[in-house]
Each structure stands twice: as structure tokens, then as C-alpha cells.
């Protein structure tokens, strides 16, 4: 194989990130197999590398002086099944929501609450995608990767992935290209009430089918979230912050109606969107960047091509929330 043929130069990355910021990639490849990926990595040992899925959770602030690996491996294989469970290996470039639809259509339960999350399958374990009381970590048995430093294959069991809230070993190290993910799903669906919004959308139907749950979530998300085709965005921009006991007490003094979730004795969680609203950033714009009118956690690009404009707006929010409530909001979105 002549690898040179698969490497492109000076590629515009604007179509590859949902915030639609401009940047050029010095080198760009779209490997279709593990062997091809491995060879490319070995061929460019000294280039900085970045893996790109659908670009729904990242944007660029400058040209990328290195090699972008845009995942292109597709396919779904059934590994094992019995009367109660099925194990399915899904290649990284498959669309996450197409896979959810495939599961719902075949009555494989476990990921229906993650309907309509814009993602490739390969990116799902990176930040352990979650919604409506479900996290993808609960159905992953194996993550198959290639080490981006050496080109060698390595498999991670669920435990080795060290999943956390919007976190995993892959996100922390950035050392592995995920090539496929193995999911273990149930063949029997029972609905568990976890989320008020969803229960209301299901009109108090206590025994919805998996299809009804998926459709309810699609309706809620379509209503609530901006369409990135017309309002470029990357979903929730900040993580919900964890607070110490002192921070929590301070917040309650300042904002008595803040929602607080107890994690343990000295760990509490609150809502970033609420803090952003209270800091004066509800539906606020600065130049061509602003918060979404229906949800302050989402930053919208209203017409800039410069990632730095988005970073500046992010910093304004961080500093204002910090100076008013002594809480630092960490971005969930990645910046390059
Ligand atoms: C409108 C909207 C709604 C959203 N809602 C949710 C939600 O409800 N819950 C939630 O958890 N997230 C949500 N997100 C965030 C986003 O959907 C997830 O982060 C998703 O997993 C990103 O997938 P991607 O393929 O676009 O990854 P990218 O944005 O391309 O990449 C994200 C990170 O993963 C790395 N990466 C990507 N693919 C691979 C791979 N194969 N191997 C190694 N590293 C890789 C990248 O280097 C980058 O660091 C939302 C985003 C948008 C735009």
C-alpha cells in the first residue's frame, strides 16, 4: 500500500467541527483499517497527532501543525448472543445515533436514553457520553485501540478505561485512537423512571416501549437543543461543577435556590447553566458569540470563523461566575 496517497495537505477544518471555526491541518488522513492507521502512525513518528470524530465536542483556535486522523472505520459485528444478552463490536466511524436506532429496531436495550447525541461511536467512550440518567460506560465491555505513539494495538476492558463523569483514561492521556467499541446489551427492556422531563414527555405512561422512550427523547432534544447546522455549537460548553462543603455553603448564602446534589460528605454538584444565568449571561452576546437563548450552557457561534472569539467569550463567563460565586467552570468542549 502506498500510504502517501492517503495523506492530504493543508486541509480546511471548518467543515469538521460543529462550532465551524477555521483552521488548516498541515496533514490529514482517513484510515479505513487498523493496519493502515498503524502504518501511518509509524510513518510520522514526530508529528503531533489529533484524532477527529464528528467534531461535535471540539473546535480549533489556530492551524493544526501536525497530523489529523479522521476516523473512517465502519461496520458492526455481532460477537456473542444468548437469550438474554448480545455483545456487538461497532467500528469507530459509525454514527452513534444510527447505532442507537439499530439497537432500538432490534430490541437491544441499554442505550436508548442516549438517543440523538451527536457523536461517532469511537468518541463515545472518550468523555463517557451521558444523558437522561444513563452513561455509555454501563454497556461497554471492551474498547479496542491503536497507541498513537507507537502504532501498536491495545484492548481496554471496562475497568481499564477508568471511566468517570465525562471522563476516561482516553480523554486524560490522549494516547489512544479508538478503532472499535464492544457493547453488551440486554434483550429485555424494562423502563426505569430516572428523569422528570422524560416521564412527563411519556405522558406518565409507566410501561413505555423502547421505541417510545427513544422517540420521546428525540422530541425533547429537538425542542431544547439548537441545530448545529444553522446555529453552530458544541453542546454543553461547561461541565457541571463539583463543590467542596465551603463552596456549597457559600453558594447557598448567595443563591438560596441553587440546585445542589450531594455526592458525599465533602462533595456536591450544582448546575453550570444556573450559575451562568445568575452571573448575567442568559441569552447574552459578545460580538459574534453568545449563549443560546433557551439554554445558557450552550455557546453559539453567530458568525465568527475565529476560535479565539469563542475562547474569549468562554473566559468572560468563567471570570464572571468565579468572581460572583467563587466557582470555576471547567470546559467540557476541547480546544485545539
Ligand atoms: C447539540 C449537541 C448536543 C450534545 N449533547 C450531549 C449529551 O447529551 N451528552 C454528552 O455526553 N455529550 C453531548 N454532546 C457532546 C458530543 O456529542 C460528544 O462529546 C461526542 O462524543 C463527540 O463525538 P465526536 O465524534 O464528534 O468527537 P469529536 O468532537 O470529534 O472528538 C471529541 C474528543 O474525542 C477525541 N476522539 C474522537 N474520536 C476518537 C477516537 N476514535 N479515538 C480517540 N479519540 C477520539 C478527539 O480527539 C477529541 O478529544 C453534544 C454535542 C452537541 C453539538
Q: What is the pLDDT of residues 96-128, one digit of tens each?
A: 999 999 999 999 999 999 999 999 999 999 999
| Residue to mutate, 37, 72, 97, 126, ligand 1, most ligand atoms under 8 Å from C-beta | 126
- 3-state secondary structure (DSSP) of residue 16: helix
Taking only the tens place, the pLDDT of each residue in 62-100 is 999 999 999 899 999 999 999 999 999 999 999 999 999
**pLDDT score, position 194:** 78
How close is the Cα of 115 to the center of ligand 1, in Å? 14
Residues 6 or more apart whose Cβ sits within 8 Å of residue 124: 96, 117, 136, 181
Mean pLDDT, residues 3-11 taken together? 80
Pairing of strands 134-135, 130-131: antiparallel
Measured from the CB, is residue 336 less than 6 Å from ligand 1?
Answer: no
**pLDDT score, position 4:** 54
Measured from the CB, is residue 208 less than 6 Å from ligand 1?
Answer: no
Atom of ligand 1 nearest to the CA of 171: 49
Residues assigned a catalytic role: 166, 236, 332
Measured from the CB, is residue 51 less than 6 Å from ligand 1?
Answer: yes
Q: How does residue 6 score in pLDDT terms, banded at 50, 70 and 90?
A: confident
Task: Write the residue with the smallest CA distance to atom 52 of ligand 1.
Answer: 235
Whether 205 has a pLDDT exceeding 90, the answer reads no
Q: How does residue 302 score in pLDDT terms, banded at 50, 70 and 90?
A: very high
Measured from the CB, is residue 57 less than 6 Å from ligand 1?
Answer: yes
Count of residues making up the chain: 336
Mean pLDDT, residues 244-264 taken together? 94
Whether 5 has a pLDDT exceeding 80, the answer reads no
Whether 206 has a pLDDT exceeding 90, the answer reads no
Taking only the tens place, the pLDDT of each residue in 155-204 is 999 999 999 988 999 999 999 999 999 999 999 999 988 788 898 999 87
**pLDDT score, position 243:** 96
Q: What is the DSSP string of 262-329?
A: EEETTEEE--HHHHHIIIIITT-EETTEEEETTEEEEEEESS---HHHHHHHHHHHHHHHHHHHS-PP
Residues 6 or more apart whose Cβ sits within 8 Å of residue 215: none
Taking only the tens place, the pLDDT of each residue in 211-253 is 999 999 999 999 999 999 999 999 999 999 999 999 999 999 9
**pLDDT score, position 287:** 96
How close is the Cα of 119 to the center of ligand 1, in Å? 5
Atom of ligand 1 nearest to the CA of 71: 41
Measured from the CB, is residue 23 less than 6 Å from ligand 1?
Answer: no
Measured from the CB, is residue 217 less than 6 Å from ligand 1?
Answer: no
**pLDDT score, position 195:** 84
Q: What is the C-alpha separation between 93 and 164, in angstroms, rounded?
A: 23
**pLDDT score, position 15:** 97
**pLDDT score, position 193:** 81
Domains of the chain with CATH codes: 3-70 (3.30.43.10), 76-224 (3.30.465.10), 233-335 (3.90.78.10)
Measured from the CB, is residue 131 less than 6 Å from ligand 1?
Answer: yes
Residues of the chain above pLDDT 70, percent: 99
How close is the Cα of 187 to the center of ligand 1, in Å? 27
Atom of ligand 1 nearest to the CA of 233: 53
| Residue to mutate, 64, 89, 112, 123, ligand 1, most ligand atoms under 8 Å from C-beta | 123
Whether 324 has a pLDDT exceeding 70, the answer reads yes
Task: Assess contact for 124 and 96: CB atoms under 8 A.
Answer: yes
Task: Write the residue with the smallest CA distance to atom 2 of ligand 1.
Answer: 235
How close is the Cα of 57 to the center of ligand 1, in Å? 4
Amino acid at each position: 500500500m502506498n500510504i502517501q496517497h492517503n495523506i492530504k495537505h493543508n486541509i480546511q477544518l471548518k467543515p469538521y467541527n460543529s462550532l465551524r471555526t477555521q483552521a488548516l491541518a498541515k496533514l490529514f488522513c482517513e484510515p479505513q483499517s487498523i493496519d493502515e492507521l498503524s502504518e501511518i502512525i509509524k510513518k510520522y513518528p514526530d508529528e503531533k497527532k489529533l484524532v477527529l470524530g464528528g467534531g461535535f465536542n471540539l473546535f480549533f483556535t489556530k492551524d493544526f501543525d501536525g497530523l489529523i486522523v479522521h476516523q473512517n472505520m465502519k461496520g458492526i459485528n455481532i460477537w456473542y448472543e444468548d437469550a438474554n444478552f448480545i455483545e456487538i463490536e461497532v467500528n469507530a466511524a459509525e454514527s452513534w445515533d444510527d447505532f442507537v436506532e439499530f439497537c432500538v429496531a432490534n430490541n437491544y436495550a441499554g442505550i436508548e436514553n442516549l438517543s440523538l447525541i451527536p457523536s461517532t461511536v469511537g468518541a463515545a467512550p472518550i468523555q463517557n457520553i451521558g444523558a437522561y440518567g444513563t452513561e455509555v460506560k454501563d454497556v461497554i465491555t471492551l474498547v479496542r485501540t491503536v497507541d498513537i505513539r507507537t502504532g501498536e494495538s491495545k484492548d481496554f476492558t471496562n475497568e481499564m478505561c477508568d471511566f468517570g463523569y465525562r471522563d476516561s483514561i482516553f480523554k486524560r492521556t490522549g494516547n489512544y485512537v479508538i478503532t472499535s467499541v464492544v457493547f453488551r446489551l440486554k434483550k429485555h427492556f424494562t423502563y426505569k423512571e430516572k428523569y422528570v422531563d422524560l416521564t412527563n414527555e411519556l405522558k406518565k405512561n409507566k410501561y413505555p416501549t423502547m421505541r417510545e422512550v427513544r422517540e420521546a427523547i428525540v422530541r425533547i432534544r429537538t425542542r431544547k437543543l439548537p441545530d448545529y447546522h444553522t446555529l453552530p455549537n458544541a453542546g454543553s460548553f461547561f461541565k457541571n461543577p463539583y463543590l467542596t462543603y465551603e463552596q456549597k455553603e457559600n453558594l447557598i448564602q448567595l443563591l438560596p435556590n441553587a440546585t445542589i446534589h450531594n455526592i458525599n460528605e465533602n462533595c456536591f454538584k450544582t448546575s453550570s447553566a444556573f450559575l451562568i444565568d445568575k452571573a448575567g449571561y442568559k441569552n447574552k452576546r459578545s460580538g459574534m458569540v453568545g449563549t443560546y437563548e433557551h439554554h445558557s450552557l450552550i455557546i453559539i457561534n453567530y458568525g465568527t470563523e475565529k476560535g479565539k472569539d469563542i475562547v474569549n467569550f468562554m473566559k468572560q463567563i468563567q471570570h464572571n461566575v468565579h468572581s460572583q460565586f467563587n466557582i470555576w467552570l471547567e470546559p467540557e468542549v476541547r480546544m485545539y
